[in-house]
Amino acid sequence: MTLDNVEKKLRLSVLDQSPVPAGSMPGQALQNSIELARLVDGLGYGRFWMSEHHAMDTLACTAPEVILARIGAETKRIRIGSGGIMLPHYTPLKVAECFRTLHALYPGRVDLGIGRAPGGGPIEALALKRDRKTKMLDDFPDQVSELLAFLGHRFPEGHPFAGIRVSPEMPGAPDVWMLGSSMWSAAAAVEFGLPYSFAHFFSPVNTRAAIETYRRGFTESIYRKAAEATAAVGVICAETQEEAEFLFSSVRLLQRRIRQGDRRPVASPEEAARELYLLGDMPQEEGEWPRYFVGTPALVRERLEAMAEELGIGELIVNTIVWEQKKRLRSYELLAEEFGMGVFAGERDARMVDLRS
């Protein structure tokens, strides 16, 4: 794949977690997500996915299906979806009903990303458990099969659920994605013939191996004729490298705290820099590419394109955590401008002509 092909083909989408800035309330974090969705819809990003996390002061979105209903109304064209629904906490029928409702409201725009992680600690997982009288069995494959059958009316004849009609019934269905950060998730995406998104920003060690395993094993299914993979990456863009690194201090401290079980809101970069000066960073596993791409728009674009080219993927999903909302929005604006997305398409084309003339 040539660099010119990457320029033409690489698409950017958004994964938002409703990060809670220290000094503000979780409700404001949810409003920040709505504001971000409106912005990236206008900038030309392809998707806007919301995550699911539980019992964390750091991240406010516990129910992506709820906030997606609002975000769909606040946007015009961008696809909206879950990144993702942690299926073990729910019954497949209820998830199918929630996302068929979203599909009825915003037909042709809804993605249903599913995963099996708890989205919290073991106590939260127990509290969310459907049946606490039995052991916590891993029946995720059975749940996925049931969910897909409910969404597509594909239960075999004689199945006890074959007569259930999932309301509201509308033509089409949400587009189901398998999400994960392990080799297991890649195999699951192959098994069910689903598109696949790998959480590189969370677990960067197996990114290449997982995506290559998925691509090699994929065979045509009713959901996709060919393999379709994305990777979710952390990004912070600013006008200067120094500013971007300063803003990144908040994420560095956040990563340190989470590894120690500290779920406080996102610290300001000033507070983070002071604490990191005293404590330092906590070592963590890294892969071929960093969890977060930090720097000027040109540098970030160069590195994102190189990663996409190496992986042979046409889309990256961007996750940006910055303490100050204005600068978080600006990071997405700078990235969109550098990639020549939406309203910036003409400007980017003009710059490329100048560079090649």
pLDDT in tens, 168-188: 999 999 999 999 999 999 999
Q: How high is the pLDDT of residue 347?
A: 61
Tell me the CATH number at 19: 3.20.20.30
Residue 253 to residue 273: CA distance in whole angstroms: 8
Give residue 8's pLDDT: 55
Cis peptide preceding 290, ω within 30 of 0: no
Low pLDDT (below 50) residues in the chain? 1-7, 353, 355, 357
**pLDDT tens sequence across 287-333:** 999 999 999 999 999 999 999 999 999 999 999 999 999 999 999 99
What pLDDT, on the 0 to 100 scale, is given for residue 9? 74
Query: d(Cα 249, Cα 267) in Å, to the nearest integer?
Result: 9
Alpha carbon distances (Å) from 235 to 30, 142, 265, 331 = 20, 35, 19, 8
Residues 271-275: contacts with CB under 8 Å, at least 24 apart: 271/22, 272/323, 273/246, 273/249
pLDDT of residue 3: 41
Q: Token match 């009825």: residue? A: 104
pTM: 0.92
Q: What pLDDT, on a 0 to 100 scale, did the predictor assign at position 125?
A: 67
pLDDT at 349: 55
The answer to whether 58 and 19 are in contact (CB under 8 A) is yes
Task: For helices 183-192 and 140-152, give the axis angle rounded to 10 degrees.
Answer: 30
Residue 121 identity (one-letter amino acid): G
Q: What is the pLDDT of residue 153?
A: 80
CB 43 within 8 Å of CB 330: no
Q: How many domains does the chain divide into?
A: 1
**Domain ranges, residue 226:** 3-356
CB count, 10 Å around CB of 131? Answer: 8
Tell me how far apart the alpha carbons of residues 318 and 78 are, in angstroms, rounded to a whole number. 14
Give SS3 for 197: strand
Phi first, then psi, for residue 88 (nearest 5°) are: -60, -20
For position 284, what pLDDT does the model report? 75
